[in-house]
Chains A and B, each alone.
Chain A
């Protein structure tokens, strides 16, 4: 200090004052922010949009329509790509499912569908048992239970023997566990059991178990690449040839619509068909081009939607 000139001292004081005053302002706003946050309880932040829609590609995702939303889902699988020019590489054939799904509460949804594959009617329920969350309540994953019933209505294969209506019924039960790893990546594991009241031969199992899963990688805010694989355990389906189902697709989201365009080796659209009756094999070129279109209609708006 002794060496400082009077001018420098003055400069120093001015600088110090400016510094202190700005610090005071900082303290003041911190003080005010502190008052704003006072007495705040930590809130639970539930993860949303693990997947863009209720299907990963062809299989169920852990998503259900938002409460009060009705989802109209058109699922379309063309014929096999290796079926040659006479079939326009599969474009001449198609299996279609028309479906409606509704979010009754934020954790429960149900739906119905009509399939051209074996003229099948199906209905399902889906419930979110656990929801991935951070904050006050922490949960690393979302867990869903799913059950469906399907009734095929094609003519009996053996009309001569006694046939029961219940023989037309098949069921699927699924447990799904999914996690959204940040904005870009979501993964899901699905365990399934398909029950068929009637199977073709005594060697075929009535209860058929599969395990699989899928995921999505977002490549932009509105486009993601999705893949899905289900493994059918051996010695369950004997009389027909059934392969593991693998599908690869792209999700494109535009406001109220979600388009999913994909390649799959399964021609059936519901669980009992693609898990246990996938006749196509990727390496043989038995691949089907397909798409899902979902359109969402808001039937009613719940009073408080956030959380």
Chain B
């Protein structure tokens, strides 16, 4: 019994100490792209915050919704006011892990395929997601890239009948984060 407790204590101690390897950014880029018959809408957020702990695989994003910039001011206003309701839900977050973090060798430059899974919260709705991406290792840098689709309806975002030809039900999300080693 004592042995068990000892093992447990050791484990938790290891978890606490093995966190020196962190990479962080506050200027990550997320592109939002809606392709519909009448209109193609693209918006960019270049103030995406992300952090990864390469020892544990923990990977976190926070995205301030009001930082998305649209080509038309009115689109931006409608995005914040009517669709994602930024006053009520100012941030989108992702709390998850790189499941195959062991395959990532930060000491060796190169491109690594990774699987990321966890809880994605947009518009106050949390869903479990699993997506593929890549990490490119450079000296003291990790460049993460991923591209995936979101269904607006999954996150309780309604598109009214009048604009169904202007806004796609599926949004393509492109994530590009250049993470710097954090000491």
- Is chain A's binding surface mostly helix, strand, loop or mixed? mixed
Query: What distance in Å separates the Cβ of B148 from its nearest Cβ neighbour in chain A?
Result: 22
Contact with B along A86-119 (1 / 0, CB 8 A): 0000000000000000000000000000000000
A66/B77 in contact, CB under 8 A: yes
Give the residues from 9 to 28 in chain B that come closer than 8 angstroms, CB to CB, to chain A. 11-12, 15-16, 19, 22, 24, 26
**Which bracket fits the contact residues of B?**
35 or more
B15/A298 in contact, CB under 8 A: no
In the complex, whether B128 has a CB less than 8 A from a CB of chain A is no
Partner of A13, one of B1, B24, B77: B1
Query: What distance in Å separates the Cβ of A254 from its nearest Cβ neighbour in chain B?
Result: 5
B15/A66 in contact, CB under 8 A: no
B56/A28 in contact, CB under 8 A: yes
In the complex, whether B76 has a CB less than 8 A from a CB of chain A is yes
B8/A66 in contact, CB under 8 A: no
- Give A306 to B16 CA distance when docked, in angstroms: 39
- Give A192 to B62 CA distance when docked, in angstroms: 46
In the complex, whether B182 has a CB less than 8 A from a CB of chain A is yes
- Give A119 to B101 CA distance when docked, in angstroms: 74
The stretch from B80-88, B130-138, B139-147 touching chain A is B80-88
A255/B51 in contact, CB under 8 A: no
A29/B66 in contact, CB under 8 A: no
B49/A36 in contact, CB under 8 A: yes
Closest chain B residue, CB of each to CB of A221: B82
In the complex, whether B174 has a CB less than 8 A from a CB of chain A is no
Query: What distance in Å separates the Cβ of A105 from its nearest Cβ neighbour in chain B?
Result: 12
In the complex, whether A238 has a CB less than 8 A from a CB of chain B is no
A222/B66 in contact, CB under 8 A: no
In the complex, whether B163 has a CB less than 8 A from a CB of chain A is yes
A298/B1 in contact, CB under 8 A: no
Contact with B along A27-69 (1 / 0, CB 8 A): 0110111011000000001001100000000000000001111
The stretch from A17-25, A141-149, A169-177, A203-211 touching chain B is A17-25
A35/B51 in contact, CB under 8 A: yes
A21/B12 in contact, CB under 8 A: yes
- Give A305 to B77 CA distance when docked, in angstroms: 11
B53/A28 in contact, CB under 8 A: yes
Residues of A within 8 A of B182 (CB): 35
In the complex, whether B172 has a CB less than 8 A from a CB of chain A is no
In the complex, whether A159 has a CB less than 8 A from a CB of chain B is no
In the complex, whether A301 has a CB less than 8 A from a CB of chain B is yes
- Give A300 to B19 CA distance when docked, in angstroms: 47
Closest chain B residue, CB of each to CB of A252: B162
Q: A32-B60, A183-B85 are in contact. Are A296 and B49 (CB under 8 A)?
A: no
In the complex, whether A9 has a CB less than 8 A from a CB of chain B is yes
Closest chain A residue, CB of each to CB of B5: A13
Q: A9-B1, A296-B74 are in contact. Are A36 and B26 (CB under 8 A)?
A: yes
Closest chain A residue, CB of each to CB of B71: A301
- Give A177 to B2 CA distance when docked, in angstroms: 71
Residues of B within 8 A of A35 (CB): 22, 24, 51, 182
- Give A256 to B66 CA distance when docked, in angstroms: 20
- Give A306 to B158 CA distance when docked, in angstroms: 23
B12/A20 in contact, CB under 8 A: yes
Sorted nearest first, the 7 A-B pairs with minimum C-beta distance are A66-B73, A221-B82, A298-B72, A36-B49, A32-B51, A254-B162, A17-B8
